[in-house]
């Protein structure tokens, strides 16, 4: 069953240089499981902060962040780490691969946290890399891959442990148009074929067009949600 996300009156404030900056302001937002969401809005509107809260990378100051049945605001650092390992896959703009590990080893990283045998881990990592079309690049280090290939490795890592939610922060920001499109098609496939709930932060309307719904944030509050299902690229 796909996982829904429920944001209830969430506030997050950052303090910089003695100045308080309210990034999320009592935000209310419900997201259905198994949907591909794009999260848009001007810089400073709270997109990445919201993504981090949903991914358990950061704590809200107040409110509730419910992902499935779990209220993330009630979990401490260690419990959040375990929750992330079991439930979320992250894709970042800068790929965020460990440079000293090969593509396969990078993909195996989250699998080491699961109760799997060495053989199972290897098979699962290879399956994920095959899914993103990198079966012939498994032993390459990140520096030996192109930007698009690096992002594919990052996607393989995000899906390797079969999480229900995939969170992507500007995943195509560093890629050329053609490569970006192939990455976005891949995310779309993961949503359609594997029923993953995907939340993708982007500034790019063309990238957002791959999503089923587009959430617009403005100054830490929900602007509107566009239903893109019919128009979403195929």
Partner 1 sequence: MALVPFRYNLRSLFVRSSSTFLTILAIGATVAVLAGMLSLQQGFVTLFQERGRSDLAVFLRKGATSEGESGLTLEQCAQLTKEVPEVLRDANDRPLASAELFLAVRLRKFDGGETNVSIRGVEPMTFAIQGDDLRIADGKNFTPGSDELIVGKGLVSRIANCRVGDVLRINTVSFRIVGEFEGKGGYQSEIWGDLNRISEALQRPVRSRVIAKVQPGTDLAAIQTRYESDLRLQPAVQTERDYLASQTKRLSLTFQALGGFLALVMGLAAIFTGTNSLLSAISARTHEIGILKAVGYRPFAIFVSFLGEAVLLGICGGIVGCLMVLPFQGAETGTMNQTFSEVTFAFRTTPQVMVTAIVFAAMLGLVGGAFPAWRAARMTPTQALRRG
Which positions touch partner 1 (CB under 8 A)? 52, 55, 57-58, 77-78, 81-82, 84-86, 90, 92, 96-101, 105, 108-110, 112-113, 157
Q: How far from the centroid of its chain's Cα atoms is residue 150's Cα? A: 16
21 or 113, CB closer to partner 1?
113
Shortest distance in whole angstroms from residue 112 CB to partner 1: 5
Give the chain's length. 234
Q: Which residues of 114-152 are buried (b: 16+ CB within 10 A; e: fewer)?
A: eebeeeebbebbbebbebbebeebbebebeebebbbbbb
Tokens at 175, concatenated: 């890629």
Nearest Cα to 47, choosing from 95, 4, 7, 19? Answer: 7
78 or 178, CB closer to partner 1?
78
Shortest distance in whole angstroms from residue 77 CB to partner 1: 6
72 or 232, CB closer to partner 1?
72
Q: Is 206 helix (H, G, I), strand (E, B) or coil?
A: helix
Shortest distance in whole angstroms from residue 110 CB to partner 1: 5
What CA–CA distance (Å, rounded) separates 49 from 46? 5
Nearest Cα to 90, choosing from 51, 128, 127? Answer: 51
66 or 81, CB closer to partner 1?
81
17 and 24 Cβ atoms separated by less than 8 Å:
no
Tokens at 88, concatenated: 């979320």
Shortest distance in whole angstroms from residue 228 CB to partner 1: 28
116 or 225, CB closer to partner 1?
116
Tokens at 127, concatenated: 């399956």
138 and 131 Cβ atoms separated by less than 8 Å:
no
143 or 224, CB closer to partner 1?
143
User: Is the torsion defined by CA of 84, 89, 92, 96 positive or negative?
Assistant: positive
Shortest distance in whole angstroms from residue 206 CB to partner 1: 26
59 or 216, CB closer to partner 1?
59
Shortest distance in whole angstroms from residue 60 CB to partner 1: 12
Shortest distance in whole angstroms from residue 230 CB to partner 1: 34
């Amino acid at each position: 069953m796909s996982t829904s996300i429920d944001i209830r009156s969430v506030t997050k404030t950052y303090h910089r240089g003695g100045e308080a900056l309210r990034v999320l302001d009592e935000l209310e937002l419900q997201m259905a499981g198994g949907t591909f969401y794009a999260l848009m809005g001007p810089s400073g509107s709270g997109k990445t902060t919201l993504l981090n809260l949903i991914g358990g990378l950061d704590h809200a100051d107040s409110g509730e962040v419910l992902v499935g049945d779990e209220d993330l605001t009630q979990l401490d650092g260690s419990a959040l780490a375990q929750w992330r390992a079991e439930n979320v896959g992250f894709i970042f703009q800068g790929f965020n691969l460990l440079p000293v590990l090969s593509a396969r080893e990078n993909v195996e990283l989250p699998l080491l946290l699961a109760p799997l045998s060495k053989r199972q881990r290897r098979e699962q990592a290879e399956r994920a890399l095959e899914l993103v079309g990198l079966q012939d690049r498994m032993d390459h280090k990140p520096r030996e891959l192109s930007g698009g290939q690096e992002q594919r490795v990052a996607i393989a890592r995000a899906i390797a442990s079969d999480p229900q939610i995939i969170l992507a922060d500007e995943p195509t920001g560093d890629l050329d148009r053609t490569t970006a499109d192939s990455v976005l098609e891949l995310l779309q496939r993961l949503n359609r074929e594997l029923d993953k709930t995907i939340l993708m932060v982007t500034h790019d309307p063309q990238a957002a067009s791959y999503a089923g719904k587009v959430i617009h944030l403005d100054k830490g509050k929900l602007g509107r949600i566009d239903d893109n299902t019919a128009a979403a690229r195929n």
